Amino acid sequence: MHSWAASPADRRLSALIRHLEGSSNSMDSDTITASPTSGFSGSRNSVFEHVVRAPEDPILGVTVAYNKDTSPLKLNLGVGAYRTEEGKPLVLNVVRRAEQMLVNNSSRVKEYLPIVGLADFNKLSAKLILGADSPAIQENRVTTVQCLSGTGSLRVGGEFLARHYHQRTIYIPQPTWGNHPKVFTLAGLSVKTFRYYDPVTRGLDFQGLLEDLGSAPSGEIVLLHACAHNPTGVDPTPQQWEQIRQLMRSKALLPFFDSAYQGFASGNLDADAHSVRLFVADGGECLVAQSYAKNMGLYGERVGALSIVCKSADVASRVESQLKLVIRPMYSNPPIHGASIVATILKDRNMYQEWTIELKAMADRIINMRQQLFDALRSRGTPGDWSHIIKQIGMFTFTGLNSEQVAFMRKEYHIYMTSDGRISMAGLSSRTVPHLADAIHAAVTRLV
């Protein structure tokens, strides 16, 4: 056995792989040993013969299945990707304009960025999430590093905590974005859950949340969705956030915010940053992972940021020095294009203004789709209370449809969504609402 095979990271990886395989097929990976092929040319077997096919990703795999469907009726409500009323992906006008400016600027080069990314982008990203007047920024006690979108920011933050924080467990809401447990496990943390959603009320299980965080050991890390909780669309009220803050601070629980939808929930960037700012205003420490995938429509550019708010400028600069040691062996330094687009927009008053208008239009269209779907189900007399469709916040509706109903809708109506019954409202349009409402109506009346 190689020495690396016994490292803690490797053991965690093996445990995770066993866990993932266990949930999708019955093969016991312990019985699969590497086939002892000789490796010389002429051998009939691949040296990878023993490799077991992995299941598709529960979210991105929906798109894979959708792409294979040849029906003209097909509708992808799986991944959270914004579509126009015409069902097309959208590149914001302000993004096009910024890209044009970047292309026209012949003094721009393609040198490596520093390990922490583009300085302007980092400063502006911290300002966007913490607020222009944030004392933490003025006191220089925030370190911000450019990362590979929201996922990369979570991963870098998780790995930093696994190396340097005195606790190794992160509490994530039940349910949460399906990638969270994998990201944090592979970063080197143990993952536990806290109660979040009550399927009966289709609302927040606030009592359960307070009990679970209340009984977590002091100092543990807690992952919080800054707004527009994925997949439930259920957020705490401002008063509930304040109670959560008091509880967490009283127990020295460390908040790690995932902000993947700033501006997408309410259409207002400041309102959607409320929870984060509440925790920063008390002078305490926290981490924030930001993504520009949704709010600037920069999905494939992979642009995001990790900010760590510290107690002092001195601590922040030492933390940053260690973040560089996490990043350098992982991907060396981040890509330049997406961050340059974001920095161009955030630093120009007019472009920033234009962005907020386009962002609001996207958020409003999603809210409008909620109303249309709700009305369509009501007019069909579909059994059940569907008011959660208009109450939930953000990109997704957590419909309450079960996995059989989801499978039925895929088979009979060519409508694709994740098996937990989550639908991306951003993938819907006035043209496709009736088709979805028909499908939901048929699913709930035929399969209870």
Q: Please list the active-site residues.
A: 177, 258, 294
**H helices present in 174-306, as ranges:** 180-187, 206-214, 238-250, 274-281
Stretch near ligand PLA under the rule CB under 6 A, chosen from 87-95, 110-118, 126-134, 148-156: 148-156
- The verdict on 150 binding ligand PLA (CB under 6 A) reads yes
CB of 397 to ligand PLA, least distance (A): 13
Backbone phi, psi, residue 159, to 5°: -70, -35
CA angle 438, 203, 389 (to 5 degrees): 25
Residue 273 touches ligand PLA, criterion: CB under 6 A: no
User: CA nearest 135: which of 313, 287, 346?
Assistant: 313
Site residues for ligand PLA, window 192-231 (CB under 6 A)? 225, 230
Indicate whether 399 belongs to the interface with ligand PLA (CB under 6 A): no
We find the least distance from the C-beta atom of residue 150 to ligand PLA, in angstroms, to be 3
Does the protein bind ligand PLA through residue 363 (CB under 6 A)? no
Q: Is 80 in the site for ligand PLA (CB under 6 A)?
A: yes
Contact 396, 231 (CB under 8 A): yes
260 in contact with ligand PLA (CB under 6 A):
yes
Give every CB contact of residue 158 below 8 A, 6+ residues apart in sequence: 170, 183, 184, 187, 188, 189, 256
Binder to ligand PLA among 115, 253, 293, 437 (CB under 6 A)?
Answer: 293
If one asks whether residue 304 binds ligand PLA (CB under 6 A), the answer comes out as yes
Whichever of 148 and 162 has its CB closer to ligand PLA, that residue is: 148
Return d(Cα 424, Cα 226) in angstroms, integer.
18
Is residue 258 a contact residue for ligand PLA (CB under 6 A)?
yes
Going by DSSP bridges, is the β-strand pair 75-76/415-416 parallel, antiparallel, or unpaired? parallel
Specify the residue, 292 or 316, whose C-beta has the smaller distance to ligand PLA: 292
Q: According to the binding rule CB under 6 A, does residue 301 interact with ligand PLA?
A: no
We find the least distance from the C-beta atom of residue 297 to ligand PLA, in angstroms, to be: 11
CA distances from 15 to 7, 157, 178, 370 (A): 12, 21, 17, 40
Q: Applying CB under 6 A, which residues contact ligand PLA?
A: 59, 79-80, 149-151, 177, 179, 225, 230, 258, 260, 291, 293, 299, 304
